[in-house]
Amino acid sequence: MRILLIGGGWSNEREVSLKGISAIHSALEELDHEVEFFDPASQFSALPERAATSDFAFVNLHGAPGEDGVVQSMLEQAGCPYQGSGPKGSLLALDKAASKTIYAARGIPTPDWEFVPMPPQPEWRCRLDPPVFLKPHAGGSSLDVVRATGQEKVRQGVDRLLGQGDYVLIEESISGEEVTCPVLGDRALPPILIRPADASGFFDYYSKYTPQAAEEICPAPISEELTREVADLALRCHRDLGLTDYSRTDFLVRDGRPYALETNTLPGMTANSLFPQSAAVVGYSFTNLIAELIRLGLSRNRSIETS
C-alpha cells in the first residue's frame, strides 16, 4: 500500500513525534509498504492532495494538530483511512477538563480538579489544598506540568500557562504508584508499573524520553485483583471517550485504588515507549504491532463504508 506517514507538526511535542517516525518508517518498509513522510508543519495545505492519493495514513502526531482530531477530520474528508480514534474521541481525550468530566460522569475515579480557563480575580485562591499539579488543558508528554506547593506558586503557574495561551487544569496531587494500561482493539494489554527518575518526582518529560531514566516494569508487579481493575478502567475510559483501535490510560494507585489521570489516543512509538513494551509481552513485535494498527484502521474504515 501507499502509506502517508504523518509526523512532526507544530506542537511543543514535535520532537517526541519525530523520535517515533524512524522506527515506524522502518516497520512499514519491512511490511513492504511504499512510505511517504508528511510533516504538517511545512506542508499542511497539501494534506488533502497527499491523502487522496494514499491508501492509508499512519498518524504519529502528539498534541495539536493530530491528537485534537483536526488531521483525522481532513483525512476523512479526503477518503483516506487511518489508524486510531476519530475526531470526536480524539478531541475529548486530549482536552483534560473534558476527559475528566466524562470520567466523573461515568463513575471512573479520577483525582479532584479545578479548571481555570481565564484569568482569575486578584483575590482568587485555588479551592484545592497544595501540593497540586498544574497542567495545560491539552498538553502531553508532561511538558509544562508543574507541581506547586503553595497558593503563591499556584497563582504564578496559572498566570504563566494562561499567558502562553493555555487553559489550566489544577489537579489534586495523589501520592501512590504510577501505572499505565494500553488498550489494543477490544482488549486491555498488560499494565506497566512506572518508577520515575529520582530527580523528577513524577513521570515527567525527562523520565519518559531519557533512556533508563525511569524504571518501567511490565507486566506490573501488582495483585491480580488490581490488574483486573486497572484493565477494566482502561477499557471503560477507552469506550466512554468514544475511542477506537488503541489508547493508553495513565493511573495513580493510592491505597490500592486506581485513579485515572488521562487517556492518550496516539501513544508514543519511540524506542522507549510504553505501548510497544506492553504489546511485546503478549507477543507483538514492533513491526507486528504496526501491522495490527493498520489492520484495525482498515477494518474500521470498511465498516464505515458499508454502514
For residue range 103-131, list pLDDT tens digits in order: 999 999 999 999 999 999 999 999 999 99
Q: In this structure, what C-alpha cell is assigned to residue 230?
A: 486497572
Q: How far apart are the first and last CA of the chain?
A: 24
Both 99 and 221 in one domain: the answer is yes
Any domain includes 234: yes
Question: Does pTM top 0.85 for this prediction?
Answer: yes
Same domain, 246 and 118: no
Residue 300 lies in a domain: no
Q: Does 265 lie in the same domain as 184?
A: yes
Q: Is residue 307 part of a domain?
A: no
* Cα separations in angstroms, 8 against 43, 49, 164, 251: 11, 18, 21, 27
Q: Is residue 301 part of a domain?
A: no
Alpha-carbon torsion (20, 22, 27, 31), positive or negative: positive
Choosing from 144, 172, 200, the residue where a domain stops is: 172
- The model's pLDDT over 196-236, given as tens digits with 9 standing for 90+, comes to 866 445 444 444 445 556 799 999 999 999 999 999 999 99
Pick from 97-106, 145-154, 274-283: least confident: 145-154
Asked, for residue 155, whether it belongs to a domain, the answer is: yes
Q: Are 64 and 141 found together in one domain?
A: no
Q: What share of the chain is helix, strand, coil (3-state, %, to 5)?
A: 40, 20, 40
Please say which residue of 125, 140, 172 terminates a domain. Answer: 172
pLDDT digits (tens, 9 = 90+) for 29-67: 999 999 999 999 999 999 999 999 999 999 999 988 889
Domain span at 141: 113-172
Closest C-alpha to 87, from 74, 78, 96: 74
Domain membership of residue 217 (yes or no) is yes
Query: In 58-93, which positions are buried (b, 16+ CB within 10 angstroms) versus exposed (e)?
Result: bbbbbbbbbbbbbbbbbbbebebbbbbbbbebbbbb
